[in-house]
Chain A
Amino acid sequence: MAFACIFVPDFPVQAAVRLEPNLRGKPVVIYEGSPPLTRVFGTNSAAKELGVEVGMTKLQAEACGELEWRWRSVSEEATAQAALFDCAWTISPRIEQGSKHGEESLPDTVVLDIAGCEKLFGSPEKIADDLKRVAANVGFKTQVAIAGNPEAAICAARGFPGITVIPEGREAEILGNLSLSLLSLPVEFLETLRRWGVHTCSEFAALPEIAVIERLGQKGKQWHRLARGNDLRSLIPRDFPSKFEECMDLDFPVDLLESLLFVLNRLLEQLCLRLKMHVLATSELTITLTLEPSDSRGKGRDLLQHIRTLRLPVPVKEAKFLLKLLQLDLQAHPPVAPVTKIHIVAVPTRSRTRQLGLFLPLSPEPEALEITLARIENTVGEGRVGAPALLDSHRPSAFQQNRFVLREAANESAAAGTQPLHAALRIFRPPLPAKVELNDKWPAAIICEGARKTVLAHAGPFRAKGGWWSESPWARDDWDVLIPSLRPKYESLFAASPGKQKETALYRIYLDLRSNCWFVEGIYD
């Protein structure tokens, strides 16, 4: 059996720097707590060189020199941890979050079982190198160790820089030089051991086990085994996540769309990178924007959130494409206040696979079509773009507009046989109100849009009813009439000479039996 461990030193700083690559190489400090109790929570090596230590006050830290500082963000640390798990999952499906002796969890450490992975990925050295490289792609500088048991791997990863591979059976020898503080012992026991003159793991491992148990109890026995590097415990593997999240707390409220898109781009790039590591894509993206409260009293209340969900017809894993869709969506539905926090959740799904052919029927590219449809919706309005669908109803012209989704081409296209040409109807929306002069129950003239037109021919009535069991019953008598055109190409300038109009047209009119009103529904064309 072999176990690998990935350790991220200065994890709070690296969690912040991961989303802000411009901070790399600079001294960065993470503060926690509200003033005047603000303290240093995390530093990187550059800040430590300037003299900044964890626990200092803000004033003390600022006195050390020029620093870049950020507030601690628990949500960013959680998403960074999720990204670390994704790195581990690229090698092995059995991973566990690092812990102190299986109890308290360590957010900066991940242990994975690499038994059986040699045939896929190569030697343990190569696996360690792959882990380091994958973590660097996500934005982490890591220390990787491989050992025969999880605790030895954790100690080695936390104690030695770079890549460490401990051959089986030599754990005690290699871990011997490490300080006892790496074993994460309680402070009082550490002090006790220091008073005994025991400072390193090898010195502690050299003590007789029975004597350690007599003086320190069963806990001492566990730590004694840790120092020797042979603490065997099984991993409790984590479940594969059901969603991928990225989160960022903004230092100041953002009210410009361009600035917001800049931040969104970073988050989407990280998200898509993590999806690609698992050969996955996403078909649903939810963005939650936490808004600045309008007054100070709102700070204690529930925060305003602006939530938008993009449901994509095809799985996508390109950050540029998702950014464009989000941009169009936020332009159409902007938040009502400046944004203070961004949270993006992507639901993973399998990548789309399709076999291309030489003679496929013509269709737009799905990704380009989505962007085009979003742009068209921004132009004409929501709910006015889509594929028409008839409703299962006897009500005339009952339809709805569904979301337009590209259909896959069938193996054989339907034979386009010769069908008789059907007279199409053009509908007036809304129907044109009209008055009809009847002559012995037949329509003789129609008055509509300020003009009176004599009925030249007619067919009807054709009665239709429905919905009498519902809240919206309907009943109507339909007529097909031939009259001089209501909207001719040229209209007579003088009202006294309507007969000169030669242009006629076929209309469908109906009498609404419930309201006893006439309407012109459409024109045959």
Chain B
Amino acid sequence: MTTPAATRLPRASTDFGRGLEGFRHRPPAELQSTGITELDALLRGGFPRGSVIELCGTSSSGRTSVSFSLLAHATARQETCAFVDVSDCLDPSSLAAAGVDLTRLLWVRCGNLDARVTAKKTVAPPKTETAAGYAMAREKANRAEGWQHPRDSIRGIENAIPQVMGNAERNKRVSLIVKPPPPSSSGMPRQTAVPKPSEPFERQPRRPAGKNKPWKILEQALKVTDLLLHAGGWGVVVFDLGNISWVDARRIELSTWFRFRRAIENTPTILLLLGEDPCAKSCSSVVLHCERKSENWSSASGEGYAAELPTFQGFEMEGRILSSRIGLPPMVSAQWLAKSLWSNSF
């Protein structure tokens, strides 16, 4: 056997041991390089395979760029990857610019709620009714007798409170009593966005606009991710919650993340979560917080350019480890640059 092959095969006598010894002395997880030298140095080699990784940060924090770089490196190794696009916001041009082999990437665009197909028992619908008729019947039932689902009746109430409260100066004298929500009997997670009475009531979590139905889209995306992870064979699976409010993302039950982690344990698959806030809690092996530090704007000059024509050259970002289950020191950070496609110097 050649030397490279010998080093890649685990040695049964020393690496695994016998029985409980083998369980205690597990070989370290293989690391997947992210393609960013500074980040790889921070992570001591890259993201661990067979684990859940979270990249969190606000808008324009650079987390999508990091995920594209990881995908580029994975597809360069001829691994098949998947991107679960919860909000349908993936840009193939950016993927190609990052060096991702598009033919090795499966793109699943969630959000089309009309196309959901539930398990149908009948081959043919009843002759007197059609799918449109069923929808109309549901709407009719909802409107009948003025009945509304309790969830629908309180929808939008948080947006109505500012209108009731009015001017901040006038309401300084008003004390708002906020009772903690009753314990949930069904085990549904509580919304963590309710502020404590002692904190100034000035800001609230962003609510999705209009009719996006984020929870239904999330259900769709979670089902898709579950199917992908249990099918197996993926190098990287990106679950993009970047456009989903962290309030909705935190409603995903912890058992779901446990299920995902269990599905990829002892496999080379990396599940990469992009979101505003960490939501997988103890299921994630590394939680990396991304933040944009500064932007770079430069003026184009030379023949053919208008005087002082500014161009966006990119931005500098910082990644900080919030938590890690693989022995990385917390709150350690690194900085790197994200350049635009047309950037000539930085």
Contact mask B242-258 → A, CB, 8 Å, 1/0?
11011000000000000
Instruction: Give the residue name and chain of the B residue nearest to A416 (CB).
Output: B76
Please report the C-alpha to C-alpha distance between residue A294 and residue B126 in the assembled complex, in whole angstroms: 12
Residue B144 at the chain A interface, CB threshold 8 Å: no
* Known contacts A358-B5, A364-B232; is-contact A427 B90 (Cβ 8 Å): yes
Residue A499 at the chain B interface, CB threshold 8 Å: no
Contact mask A327-358 → B, CB, 8 Å, 1/0?
00011101111110000000000000000001
Residue A361 at the chain B interface, CB threshold 8 Å: yes
Could you say which residues of chain B place their CB within 8 Å of the CB of A495? Answer: 162
Task: Tell me if A407 and B315 are in contact (CB < 8 A).
Answer: no
Residue A365 at the chain B interface, CB threshold 8 Å: yes
Task: Tell me if A416 and B204 are in contact (CB < 8 A).
Answer: no
Task: Tell me if B315 and A376 are in contact (CB < 8 A).
Answer: no
Task: Tell me if B115 and A425 are in contact (CB < 8 A).
Answer: no
Interface-located stretch among B17-25, B96-104, B279-287: B96-104
Please report the C-alpha to C-alpha distance between residue A255 and residue B124 in the assembled complex, in whole angstroms: 6
Residue B215 at the chain A interface, CB threshold 8 Å: no
Task: Tell me if A523 and B5 are in contact (CB < 8 A).
Answer: no
Could you say which residues of chain A place their CB within 8 Å of the CB of B311? Answer: 459, 480
Task: Tell me if B206 and A491 are in contact (CB < 8 A).
Answer: yes
Residue B107 at the chain A interface, CB threshold 8 Å: yes
Contact residue among A409, A415, A494, A524 (Cβ-Cβ distance under 8 Å from B168): A494
Residue B110 at the chain A interface, CB threshold 8 Å: yes
Residue B45 at the chain A interface, CB threshold 8 Å: no
Residue A419 at the chain B interface, CB threshold 8 Å: yes
Residue B61 at the chain A interface, CB threshold 8 Å: yes
Task: Tell me if B220 and A457 are in contact (CB < 8 A).
Answer: no
Contact residue among A363, A427, A459 (Cβ-Cβ distance under 8 Å from B233): A363
Contact mask B63-92 → A, CB, 8 Å, 1/0?
111111100110011111000000011111
Task: Tell me if A489 and B205 are in contact (CB < 8 A).
Answer: yes
* Known contacts A421-B36, A496-B167, A524-B315; is-contact A459 B310 (Cβ 8 Å): yes
Task: Tell me if B220 and A522 are in contact (CB < 8 A).
Answer: no
Task: Tell me if A404 and B106 are in contact (CB < 8 A).
Answer: yes
Task: Tell me if A255 and B122 are in contact (CB < 8 A).
Answer: yes
Contact residue among B73, B108, B234 (Cβ-Cβ distance under 8 Å from A364): B234
Closest Cβ of chain A: how far from B328's Cβ, in Å?
A: 21
Contact residue among A294, A338, A492, A523 (Cβ-Cβ distance under 8 Å from B203): A492
From 295 to 346 in chain B, residues with beta carbon under 8 angstroms from any chain A beta carbon are: 295, 297, 310-312, 314-315, 336-341, 343
Residue A17 at the chain B interface, CB threshold 8 Å: no
Residue B268 at the chain A interface, CB threshold 8 Å: yes
Residue B154 at the chain A interface, CB threshold 8 Å: no
Please report the C-alpha to C-alpha distance between residue A258 and residue B167 in the assembled complex, in whole angstroms: 63
Task: Tell me if B168 and A410 are in contact (CB < 8 A).
Answer: no
Residue B129 at the chain A interface, CB threshold 8 Å: no
Please report the C-alpha to C-alpha distance between residue A376 and residue B109 in the assembled complex, in whole angstroms: 10
Contact residue among B104, B112, B201 (Cβ-Cβ distance under 8 Å from A384): B112
Contact mask A378-411 → B, CB, 8 Å, 1/0?
1111101111111000001101010011110110
Residue A506 at the chain B interface, CB threshold 8 Å: yes
Contact residue among A260, A387, A505 (Cβ-Cβ distance under 8 Å from B59): A505
Instruction: Give the residue name and chain of the A residue nearest to B79 (CB).
Output: A362
Task: Tell me if B233 and A382 are in contact (CB < 8 A).
Answer: no
Task: Tell me if A493 and B119 are in contact (CB < 8 A).
Answer: no
Closest Cβ of chain A: how far from B320's Cβ, in Å?
A: 16
Residue B139 at the chain A interface, CB threshold 8 Å: no
Task: Tell me if B123 and A379 are in contact (CB < 8 A).
Answer: no
Could you say which residues of chain A place their CB within 8 Å of the CB of B340? Answer: 422-423, 524
* Known contacts A384-B112, A422-B339, A426-B91; is-contact A488 B58 (Cβ 8 Å): yes
Task: Tell me if B73 and A422 are in contact (CB < 8 A).
Answer: no
Please report the C-alpha to C-alpha distance between residue A382 and residue B109 in the assembled complex, in whole angstroms: 10
Residue B151 at the chain A interface, CB threshold 8 Å: no
Task: Tell me if B104 and A407 are in contact (CB < 8 A).
Answer: yes
Could you say which residues of chain A place their CB within 8 Å of the CB of B165? Answer: 493-494
Residue B26 at the chain A interface, CB threshold 8 Å: no
Task: Tell me if A505 and B60 are in contact (CB < 8 A).
Answer: yes
Contact residue among A338, A380, A397, A418 (Cβ-Cβ distance under 8 Å from B92): A397
Instruction: Give the residue name and chain of the A residue nearest to B127 (CB).
Output: A294
16 further contact pairs, Cβ within 8 A, besides A294-B127, A459-B297, A525-B60: A331-B119, A359-B8, A362-B235, A362-B268, A363-B233, A380-B108, A384-B112, A389-B102, A415-B76, A416-B33, A416-B77, A419-B72, A419-B99, A486-B59, A489-B58, A525-B65
Please name the 8 residue pairs, one residue from A and one from B, whose CB atoms are nearest each other, closest first: A381-B115, A364-B233, A416-B76, A480-B312, A361-B78, A388-B92, A505-B59, A525-B64
Residues of B within 8 A of A (CB): 5, 8-9, 33, 35-37, 58-69, 72-73, 76-80, 88-99, 102-112, 114-117, 119-125, 127, 161-162, 165, 167-168, 201-206, 209, 220, 223-224, 227-228, 231-235, 242-243, 245-246, 268-269, 276-277, 292, 295, 297, 310-312, 314-315, 336-341, 343
Residues of A within 8 A of B (CB): 254-258, 260, 294, 330-332, 334-339, 358-359, 361-365, 368-369, 372-373, 375-376, 378-382, 384-390, 396-397, 399, 401, 404-407, 409-410, 413-416, 418-429, 449-450, 457-460, 480, 482, 485-497, 500, 503-506, 522-525
25 A-B residue pairings within 8 Å (CB atoms): A256-B122, A257-B122, A330-B123, A362-B80, A376-B108, A378-B117, A379-B227, A380-B111, A404-B106, A409-B78, A410-B78, A416-B73, A419-B99, A420-B337, A421-B35, A421-B336, A421-B338, A423-B340, A424-B68, A425-B91, A429-B89, A459-B311, A493-B162, A506-B295, A525-B60
